[in-house]
Homo-oligomer: A and B are copies of this chain.
C-alpha cells in the first residue's frame, strides 16, 4: 500500500503540473445542484467542503470552555455544526479483533473555544505483557472523516427512487468520506471534526492486548493523547482473497476516466483506478463488471457504460468484434485481485437498442430489436460465438457470466435460448425478480432484499455450486447505503447473508461518481450516495468500512459454525444462531441496525 500511495501522489502531482505555467489549471467544479464548488474540478490531495446549510446551534457551544477531544463510536455520523454528543470525555478505547481482522475507532474533536489546526499521529500498538511484540503503525490506516452534501428519502419515506428536483429535498452535510490524504485540517470555532482509525491486525500477530496512543495536535501543540487498545484473539480471519462472501459491487471505469480526466484505458486511467479498486479487493470483491454493449442501463449514472467490446458491421453484412478494451479491463482487475468472475452486461439492456459501427457509412448505427426476434438472434449469436471463442483463448470462459438485471421472465427465457444456442456452456447471471421457472438456469442469481429463495432452492443451488445473493437499491428505505443511511445498515448486510445462508450481496454501483463526489453526493435521480460507496483519490467511507465489517462478520460466522459443528459444541452453535435471529428485515423498523450489530458483535467476539 505504501509504494502505491507514493505512486499515486506522484501521479497527482503530474496531473497538477500539466499546464505550461506549472500551475493547476483545472476548470472550476460545479455540482449537480448547480452549486459552484469554489475550487478546481477533481480536487485531489485536499479540498474544501461545501458551506454547511445547517445553522450552528450556538447554545450547545456555550456549555464548555475548552476544546474537547474524545473517542466516539463508529456507528454515529457526528454533526459538523454540533459539539460531540459525548457525555464524558473518553480517552481510552478497547477494540476486539481476530488475527487478520480490521477493526475501527472514531474520535471526535469539537472546537468550543478557538479554531484548531488539526492533525493527529498514531503510534505502534505494543503488547501488554511483551513490549517486543507490536502491531506496527504501518498496519494502521487513518484519516479525517469529511462532510459531504446529502439529501433524504422520498417524502413518503418509502425509498429513494425516481428523478430528483434537488430543491425539493432537504440538503445537509453528513459525515461519510474518510480522507487519508489530507494531513492537516482547520477546525473552525464551534464546529466538530471526527477522525477515523482502522487497525488491520496482521495474521501473524500474537494473541493478547496491544495499546498505543493517538496524539491529537493543534499546529505543533499536542492537545490530547488518546489511548487505543486492541485485544487480539487466537482465532484467524483469512485474507480477503480467501473469503467466501460473494461481493459484487458494479465498478464503473467510465466514471473514473471522466473524473480523473484521463483517456479511457490509458496507463494514467488504470493508475488512478488502482486506489479506488483496492478497497473492493480488500473487501473480497468477487466480480468484475464488464459492459458488452453501449449503455446497458441507458445512462442511469453520470457516466454511462460504453461497450468494452467493439461492435462492427462490415460492408458485406458480417459482424466483427474487438476485445482489446475488455481484455485490458479484465486483466487490470485480475491483477488487482478480483479473479473469481466476470459479469457481462447486457443482452437485455433497459432500452432494447443496440449500437454498432457501420463500416459502410463510417458512423454508429442503432438496431432496435428484442429477444425473440430474428435480428436479435443473428446479432447476438454472432457476438456470443466470437466472445466464447475469445474467452476460451484467454482461459476466462468458465469465469464469465452473461448478465442481465431486472427484466421480465419471458424476455429472460428468450434470451437464454440465444445464449445457449451460441455456447451451451455459457454461464448466466441475473439480478432481479423471483422467477422460479429459471432458478435452474441462472448460475448467479441475485434477488432483491424484499424477496427470498425457498430454502430447498437455496440448498440445491449451493450443492450445484450456483451463487445466490441479494441486493438493495433505491427501493429500500432501510437498510441502505445512502450517505444519510445509518452506518450500521451496511454492516447489517453481511450478518443478514449469514443468517439467511446466502452467498453474498450485490449493489449496482460501487463508484459511479456524481459530478463532484467528494463534495456533494446528490444526483439527479435516486437518493444521495446511491451511486457510489467510495470516494475519489482512493478514499473510503464510513458506509464502506461498515460494509466490510459485515463481510468480516460473515466470514467469522462461517468459521465459528464450522468449528462448533466439528467439535459438536451445540451450545455455542445455538448461541451463535440465536444472535443471528435478530437479522430479520422486518425488525429494522423497531430496532436500529446499530443495536442489532453491536449485540451480535459482542456475541461472536465472546467465543
Q: Which residues of A approach B to under 8 Å, CB–CB?
A: 254, 263-265, 294, 306-311, 314-315, 317, 322, 324-325, 328, 355, 357-364
* CA distance in complex: A363, B295 (Å): 11
- Bound state CA distance, A462 and B263, in angstroms? 51
Smallest CB-CB separation from A291: which chain B residue? B362
Q: Is the CB–CB distance between A294 and B324 below 8 Å?
A: no
> Which of B263, B264, B328, B360 is in CB contact (< 8 Å) with A264?
B360
Q: Which residues from B are CB-within-8-Å of A322? A: 359
**Taking the nearest CB of chain B, how far is it from the CB of A329, in angstroms?**
10
Q: Which of B311, B317, B360, B364 contacts A364 (CB 8 A)?
A: B364
A324 B265 Cβ-Cβ under 8 A: no
A306 with B359, Cβ < 8 A, contacts A315-B265, A328-B315 known: no
Question: A265 contacts which chain B residues (CB < 8 A)?
Answer: 315, 360
Q: Which residues of chain B are within 8 angstroms of A355 by Cβ–Cβ distance? A: 362-363
* Distance in angstroms between the alpha carbons of A73 and B375 in the assembled complex: 55
Which of B264, B315, B360, B362 contacts A294 (CB under 8 A)? B362
Given A308-B362, A310-B359; 17 other pairs, CB 8 A cutoff: A263-B317, A264-B360, A264-B361, A265-B315, A265-B360, A306-B361, A307-B361, A307-B362, A310-B357, A311-B362, A315-B328, A322-B359, A324-B359, A325-B359, A325-B361, A357-B362, A364-B364
Contacting pair A364 B361 (CB below 8 A): no
Report yes or no: B325 in contact with A363, Cβ–Cβ below 8 A.
no
Residues of chain B lying within 8 A (CB to CB) of residue A254 = 361
Q: Could you tell me the distance between the alpha carbons of A552 and B311 in the complex, rounded to whole angstroms?
A: 50
Residues of B within 8 A of A310 (CB): 357, 359, 362
Chain B residue contacts of A325, Cβ below 8 A: 315, 359-362
Contacts of A314 in B (CB 8 A): 324
The 5 tightest CB contacts between A and B, nearest first, are A307-B362, A264-B360, A306-B361, A310-B362, A265-B360
Closest to A269 in B: B360
State how many angstroms separate the Cβ of A414 from the closest Cβ of chain B.
Answer: 23
Interface of A is mostly: loop
Closest B residue by C-beta to A364: B364
8 Å CB contact of A362 from B309, B358, B360, B363: B309
In Å, the complex CA distance between A317 and B265 comes to: 10
The 7 sampled A-B contact pairs (Cβ below 8 Å) are A264-B358, A294-B363, A306-B363, A310-B362, A314-B324, A315-B328, A322-B359
Is A306's CB under 8 angstroms from B264's CB? no
Which residues of chain B have C-beta atoms less than 8 A from A309's C-beta?
Answer: 362
**Most chain B beta carbons < 10 A, residue from A254, A309, A311, A361:** A361
> Nearest chain B CB to A368's CB is how many angstroms away?
17
Q: Could you tell me if B263 and A306 are in contact, using CB atoms closer than 8 angstroms?
A: no
Q: How far is the CA of A324 from the CA of B313 in the complex (A)?
A: 12
Asked whether B311 lies within 8 Å of A263 as measured between CB atoms, the reply is no
Residues of B contacting A362 in the complex (Cβ-Cβ under 8 angstroms): 294, 306-311, 325, 355, 357
A315 to B269, CA, bound (A): 12
Residues of B within 8 A of A361 (CB): 254, 264, 306-307, 325
Q: Give the CA-CA distance A361 to B364 in the complex, in Å.
A: 12
Provide the residues of chain B in CB contact with A306, threshold 8 Å.
361-363
Minimum distance in angstroms from A283 CB to a CB of chain B: 28
Contacts of A311 in B (CB 8 A): 362
**Bound form: Cα–Cα A263–B358 in Å:** 11
Residues of B within 8 A of A324 (CB): 314-315, 359
Q: What distance in Å separates the Cβ of A378 from its nearest Cβ neighbour in chain B?
A: 15
CA distance A192 to B311 in the complex (A): 56
How many whole Å from A376's CB to the nearest CB in chain B? 19
Docked-complex contact A263 and B360, CB < 8 angstroms: yes
Residues of chain B contacted by A360 (CB below 8 angstroms): 263-265, 325
Give the complex CA separation of A317 and B324 in angstroms: 13
Known A-B contacts A315-B265, A328-B315; A363 and B363 likewise in contact (beta carbons under 8 Å): no
Min Cβ gap A312→B in Å is 8
Q: Which residues of B contact A315 (CB under 8 A)?
A: 265, 324-325, 328
Most buried by B among A264, A308, A363: A363
**Which residues from chain B contact A307 at a C-beta distance below 8 Å?**
361-362
Chain B nearest CB, measured from A557 CB (Å): 43
Nearest CB in chain B to that of A361: its residue: B306
Collect the chain B residues with CB atoms within 8 Å of residue A357's CB: 310, 357, 362, 364
Q: Which chain B residues lie closer than 8 Å to A308 at the CB level?
A: 362
CA distance in complex: A357, B363 (Å) = 7
In the assembled complex, the CB of A253 is this many whole angstroms from the nearest CB of chain B, namely 10
Closest to A307 in B: B362
Which B residues lie within 8 Å of A317 (CB)? 263
Shortest A343–chain B CB gap in Å is 18
